[in-house]
Amino acid sequence: MGNTYHIRTLCSLTVRKRLHPFRTFHPIISHLFLIRDWADGVIALWIVGFIGALIVGVNLHYHKIVKNEYYGYPQEWFPSVSATIGDRYPERSVFQLCIALTSGPRFLLVLLWYFLTSRPGSSLPKFVASVGIMRTFLCGGWVYITSTDDHDWHDIFMISYLVLTLPWTLGCLATSPVNAKAIRYRKILAGLFFGTLVPLIYYFIQHKVHKVPGAYTIYAFFEWSLILYDVGFDAVTALDFEGFELRLVDTKSFSKGNSQLADVYAEELKKEKRPLAQEFTTAFSWAAMIDTLSDLYLGFAFWSILTSLGVVVWYFPLWHMGISGYEIAILATISPYLLCNVSVRRAVFSNLPMVYIGSLTTLVAFFIVIPEVRLFLTTTGLFFACLAWATNFSLESTSSRFDVKTSAFSLGLIMSSVAKFANHTNNPIWPLMNSENGGWNKIGLLFAVLSIARTHFRRPVAPAVDTTMYSGRDGSQYLAAIGFGGLLFALHSLLSDSSTMITWVWDGYPVKGPLAVPHGAYTIIAMGAGFLISLVKQELATSPLFFIVGCIGAAFLQSFHGWWGYYGALILTVYLMAITPSFIQSCARYPPGATFGTGFMVYNVLVLAHVWVVAYAFVPGGFLLRERTWLVMTIMMAFIGVGLSVIISNNGTGQPAKPKGDFVGTKRASRSYFVYALAGLELLAISIAYLRFPRYDYKPYHEKEKMVTAGIWTVHFALDNDMWSSERRMRDLIREMELDVVGLLESDLQRIIMGNRDMTQFLAEDLGMYADFGPGPNKHTWGAALLSKFPIVNSTHHLLPSPVGELAPAILATLDMYGTMVDVLVFHSGQEEDEEDRRLQSLGISKLMGDSPRPLVLLSYLVTNPKEGNYNTYVSEQSGMKDIDETDWDRWCEYILYKGLHRVGYARVSRSSITDTELQVGKFIIDGKESSEEQIEESEVPEGYRFPAQFNGEGVRGHQYHVFDKPRYFV
């Protein structure tokens, strides 16, 4: 039925089809006009605002508005939207005046759309209307706060407007009346709008990162096309308003004798319009949405707990430099084996909410300072979490909530990845986080408690289930478990952080592939695509052909760098997320104890293999997997293939039985709400990518003096002595020491045992520095990274000879320092026990330094005494290098060497409790002069050349100049 709205007021206003504005005038003030004409006028005024500003700007300030921070005319010859509407008067005023005239009609447009689409029992039109109102306010934000007024707030309003465009677009499509022409136009324009975002982002990166001439002009064309598509989408509304009637009736005038007009209105009231067909037929329910969010948050909590154990366990062998015994904690994941016992199974099935509460011990661990206690609490929480989810999958296997649980499991991983993306790869509710280093532990714990209460205490617990309900006791349960274990390992090792696979394919500067920001959002989008496939096309997800596609993706990820390797990563991502529900469903057919317990055991074996490939020098039998990530990847995909064979062999019976009943409130739960949640997470990821996009406008601390302050620091995988994440404490010391260049060693955290983290993201963004992650995690090193205030013109990654011991990583980077090309070499030598390795490595590094034609600084970890052994290979005629201070005899690991630079200062700064190694710092001037050996007092040094005075004496926060108590200065 059509919608006719009657509003009684002091005047009579009728809006009708085929009547033009003010076509008639009635003594009772009755105005008749056509809504379509009015809507067309609003849209036209919008277009006039943009086009008018463009015409005025091109005529008055052409060269100014086409110029950006890198290039002007003729390289750039077409202005961006922001430059056109916000940079200059009077074009800015032309635009703002037109937009002001459309502000009221825009609100009215949203109101009329709500009247047109509202229907009893559905709150979706209200949601769409609220989004439309918010978009209108945000539009005013970026229109009247221009980029020249406040760049940050202009961007915030703009990105928020674009983010809300997705729910507005989907909402309008979902609530559209039956109008084939209008729906077709909306789909075309929406597709063009979102499709244009891909090349838009690509050319923005070409401009911002690669500084390609002319890229910003191409970007501008895509930006202007977005405006046209956005305005055009709203303009289609005029087609729907053709048959819409709105009446405002003056009842007082009717009572005074206007019976003829009143009779006309009364007759019109009896007419019914055409019915409205909705693409979403189910009424939206906030209660069901809250149920969904509760389930989703419990999925997020599970992945947060699972991913936290590795890094908490790793703390102990890290400090023991070998097997500590605490590694036994990883067996907490096999708690589902307890379900093999009938009594335990019945007790757990009957008290599932209490098992979930037990998992919260991980989330309360942050209250405790003692590392051993935190490990115990984390292990206990994971023990209960694995038990709870194995139980849940089994309990719900014959209920309509099974799809909800598998969706929550998958989407919880996406939420975990988004949370880490927002928090620079740290999960804010991990037990190594707290309020001082970026943690949101208390809020995370509160949400977990509320989610458990909402999900489990509001409905009766299902009766205990006996094993007789399960089918498939022919041994195939163990094959299904192998598949589940391989899949769980793949999800954890590759997808628990959006930047992990990007570091796999990273190959230095110039950039030839994806960046953690913004391309981490691509990984999250691919995860969402796989999740959607799992909802609507499970038969595709479990087809042999799709498995082959997934294997090809894994092979590309393993074999290629740059974009080709990342394309393989995205394919593998879609595949893994698509098969997740089917693999869980396959396991849920069988007795939960043996099946999920074995699945988690297989996962543990793969985790150990994942560690052994890099820790081979410290573990028994390490030579078997030394540097064989390809073998672990192959086994992982083979295990997934085994699990897939079970599903295929069952010929569809691998799916759980059809639901036999519902628990209380289950009927409201729908997988469609997970699609809403997914859309929200994807929008959040895109927003985070935009807000975190680096500006690349970094400046060194002593530009006037043309000074470079360089440091070397071994940072122990960003874990401090008390097992807290240490990035913020590192940031404070680097900033206060005014380091322009710093080499970080033991910096590769992209493994399960380090939490799949990347410390360089936070440090680079917060300090305003370029970052080179160094050799990726598939290169089997402990990591070497470089941060620089100066642009990194080129960088290459090297693995030095290591026939016996651990691999030695190196980064050789060319930096543009005040117009002079200077090489910086960051290097970590092998361990003390392997003398031949270190000799070969010293020869390799010496050759790299000797072959460099430019000034060079070595920031290194050499494992040698000064003027002994391999030291004389590093400091030699072949290398051309000098020691920053030959008189400093108290060194073993960290050294700073240089050539072709003017050395002016050297300092050693104590570590406090951040790590086990000090920070060494050197100051150099880019002036072409050679350094002398004469040492001078600080009073003889110009103030701009001195090290910060706050670290003299007792220093601050446990950091002070030590060994020789104060910095040393040279002529």
Partners of 816 in the beta sheet?
821
Token code pair at residue 900: 């072709």
Cα gap 590→569, rounded to integer Å: 32
Cα gap 352→391, rounded to integer Å: 8
CB 854 within 8 A of CB 887: no
3-state secondary structure of 271: coil
Candidates 742, 680, 751, 679; CA nearest to 715 is 742
Cα gap 845→829, rounded to integer Å: 10
Q: Which helix (H) or strand (E) holds 378?
A: helix 371-395
Cα gap 66→214, rounded to integer Å: 10
The phi and psi torsions of 399 (rounded to 5 degrees) equal -115, 165
Cα gap 423→427, rounded to integer Å: 7
Candidates 240, 273, 248; CA nearest to 39 is 240
Token code pair at residue 933: 């050996």
Which residues 6+ apart lie within 8 Å of 527 measured at CB? 413, 414, 417, 495, 573, 574, 577
The DSSP code sequence of 518-546 is: HHHHHHHHHHHHHHHHHHH-HHHHTSHHH
Radius of gyration of the chain from its Cα atoms, rounded to whole angstroms? 32
Q: CA-CA distances (angstroms) from residue 579 to 211, 396, 491, 593, 651?
A: 40, 19, 11, 22, 16
Burial of 692 (0-12, 13-18, 19+ CB in 10 A): middle
Catalytic residues: 828
Cα gap 637→629, rounded to integer Å: 12
Which residues 6+ apart lie within 8 Å of 836 measured at CB? 803, 804
Token code pair at residue 745: 């060693």
Candidates 303, 307, 276, 758; CA nearest to 498 is 758
Amino acid 869 reads G
Cα gap 111→277, rounded to integer Å: 20
Partners of 906 in the beta sheet?
922, 968
The phi and psi torsions of 25 (rounded to 5 degrees) equal -135, 120
CA 182, chain centre distance (Å): 36
Cα gap 857→883, rounded to integer Å: 10
- DSSP E strands: which ranges in 200-275? 245-250
Cα gap 685→218, rounded to integer Å: 25
Which residues 6+ apart lie within 8 Å of 864 measured at CB? 829, 838, 870, 871, 874, 892
CB 764 within 8 A of CB 787: yes
CB 550 within 8 A of CB 542: no
- Helix (H), strand (E), coil (C) string for 285-345: CHHHHHHHHHHHHHHHHHHHHHHHHHHHHHHHHHHHCCCCCHHHHHHHHHHHHHHHCHHHH
The DSSP code sequence of 91-130 is: HHHHHHHHHHHHHHHHHHHHHHHHHHH--TT--HHHHHHH
- Provide, for the chain, the percentages of residues in helix, strand and coil under a 3-state DSSP scheme, each rounded to the nearest 5: 55, 10, 30
